[in-house]
Chain A
Amino acid sequence: MYGFEAMTFNVHGGFLEAIVRGYRAGLLTAADYNNLCQCETIEDIKMHLSATDYGPYLANEPSPLRTATLVERCTQKLVEDYSFMLTQSAEPLTTFLEYITYGHMIDNVVLIVTGTLHERDVHELLEKCHPLGMFDSIASLAVAQNMRDLYRLVLVDTPLAPYFSECITTEDLDDMNIEIMRNTLYKAYLEDFYKFCKSLGGATAELMSELLAFEADWRAVNITVNSMGTELTRDDRRKLYSNFGLLFPYAHEELAVCEDFDTVRGVVEKYPPYQAIFAKLSFGESQMLDKAFFEEEVKRLILTFEQQFHFAVFFAYIRLREQEIRNLMWIAECVAQNQKGRILDGVVMIF
């Protein structure tokens, strides 16, 4: 089954595993969320967060604090943690950590290209990019007119280059092509990450395969639900699903032809791990699907910390922080909109 990781892992990875477990201990607890849910203003939220890991990042923010600023400062904490781990890591952990950021890189590329298509200023777009997904030549994306230019001028020297083989066309960039490009890149990235994790073997391969398979399945359901009523054809939809996961290949064939949410439910509920997710939703209700999938993801991510000597804890920590930031954004928005009754609709408790 596993290799002798217990004997060799700590040589290169022991320090960082200890660091990431320390970071994990700093995640917000249910008591923290209870306090945050009682806040009347965003200033109150800032005050409660001052006693957490986010305290130093929010201390110097002037009032009035906006939700976007709160999210940026919390993201800054995540980025600093990640940067520390990356600089201290050795191979193959370095490559593993870099893989985690490729998703953000794809989002940034799409943001710049979309914003340029809409005649927005590149500097404004760069400020909005996720810091984990930045690379040197990102600003040059604004000059590309089609995907071939995008690849030739900028992306050929980035880690996303291998994922572009299925995207290169000379068609001009428009909203539909950009969306297809985003999903095709992400599909290629997930499959590549999955292959890399498998090659590492041991507990990392086992745990990461499960986590990435869940993500691939979630993406398939998301793409299906979001593409209903759009111009995306069934064939194009099918091409965007990843070639691994519990739903591959039979459920993908059924999902490709789904036209409403209840049909999607019927397809996915056949798989026991996903029955619990759809059991929380009533018939016809697709509104809470995101939260149901986030809750399931959090459960799986927490379980990775039960084992030692593998890299999945790093992936889990980054994802749990992102979920926490999502929670804080939701709470801040509910407080700002005076809709505190809806706070629990979006908060996914981690501990």
Chain B
Amino acid sequence: MLEDESNQKKLETEVWQCLDSVHHLLKRREILHQTLRQGWMELTSARYGMGPSRISSLLFSLKPHAPSSVVDIRVSPSDSTGRDSGVKLDNQPHGAALAFDLIRDKAGNDERPSVTNTGDSTESDKREPSSNPRRSTTVSTGWYLVYLEPFAYASCWSVGPLSRTDGEEKEVDEIERLIDDYSADSPDESSPAETPKEKAQPLYWFGTLVSPHLRSAQDSFSQALELIVEIVNAQTEVTHAHSNVLKLREAMTSEEN
């Protein structure tokens, strides 16, 4: 009896958590929608003032450049305490948790985001100069960095369910597949360690004296990037909360039977 009540309470808690997560997710989606609308409107205003030929995708720079933002995907060790260490995925070995953070490369910061490991040194140190450095990254503890294009037009962010890696080939292949999807257009990039790339300044692609509307548009899209990362975290949370609710209900149903 007591056990039933406790399970019932647990189920209620999980349901409330699930509903909170959904509410948080929907709110974030709405804000993202408004932010993107505003960004596109500002872009149109900029094209209205500066002329359509001065703001078009033809002016995007195809030179290799370092991104101004990266998404940091943390795979933290198993932790049953809750949200701080990320969302648990029960299908991952050792109950590894995933969390996504947006890291911006601040002006004047020499530490450019790059695909490196924070754990043991790996084959990346022994790679040939001409090879894509991202290809050979193997990480023993979990900092995987996926590049984001600096401007919303060309975002090619792909995030997949990355497993925690212990040097297993399967996980490295997954990372390489994701990174190859991104770097398909730039096979000739040299190692960032050898030829430091310019930091991307997408606003200057359209000229140095650009309309304030274009700056506002960039701010809006920049804010949208942050919101997207928050939404991914929120979505993962919702999925996890929902699966918890279903599991608890199944457990209670099987006990009753």
Q: Do A and B come from one complex?
A: yes
Taking Cβ atoms with an 8 Å cutoff, the residues of A that contact B are 68, 71, 107, 110-111, 114-115, 117-120, 124-125, 128-130, 175-176, 178-180, 182-183, 222-223, 225-227, 230-232, 286-287, 290, 326, 329-330, 333-334, 337, 339, 342, 346
Interface of B is mostly: helix
For residue B2, CB closer than 8 A to chain A, the reply is no
C-alpha spacing A178/B16, complex, angstroms? 58
Return the chain B residue nearest A334 by Cβ: B44
If the complex has contacts A225-B212, A337-B40, A339-B37, are A290 and B58 also in contact, measured as CB distance less than 8 A? no
Question: Please, which residues of chain B bring their CB within 8 A of the CB of A227?
Answer: 208-209
Residues of A within 8 A of B210 (CB): 226
Docked pose: A226 CA to B50 CA in angstroms: 11
How many chain B residues touch A (Cβ–Cβ < 8 Å)? 30
> Chain A interface secondary structure, helix, strand, loop or mixed?
helix
Q: Which residue of B lies closest to A229 (CB)?
A: B215
A330 to B53, CA, bound (A): 14
Question: In the complex, what residue of chain B is closest to A71 when comparing beta carbons?
Answer: B52
Kindly supply a per-residue 1/0 record for chain B positions 225-237, scoring 1 wherever the CB is within 8 Å of any chain A CB and 0 otherwise. Answer: 0000000000000
Say yes or no: B56 contacts A128, CB within 8 Å: yes
B56 adjacent to A287 (CB under 8 Å): no
**Contact A120:B211 (CB < 8 A) given known A128-B56, A329-B52:** no
A231 to B207, CA, bound (A): 12
CA distance A334 to B40 in the complex (A): 10
A188 to B59 CA separation, bound complex (whole angstroms): 25
CB contacts (< 8 Å) of B209 on chain A: these are 179, 183, 222-223, 226-227, 230, 232
A-side contacts of B53, CB under 8 Å: 107, 111, 128-130
Complex Cα–Cα for A330 and B61 (A): 26
A219 vs chain B, min Cβ distance (A): 11
Contacts of B54 in A (CB 8 A): 107, 111
A48 to B208, CA, bound (A): 38
- In Å, the complex CA distance between A346 and B213 comes to 13
B93 within 8 Å of A (CB atoms): no
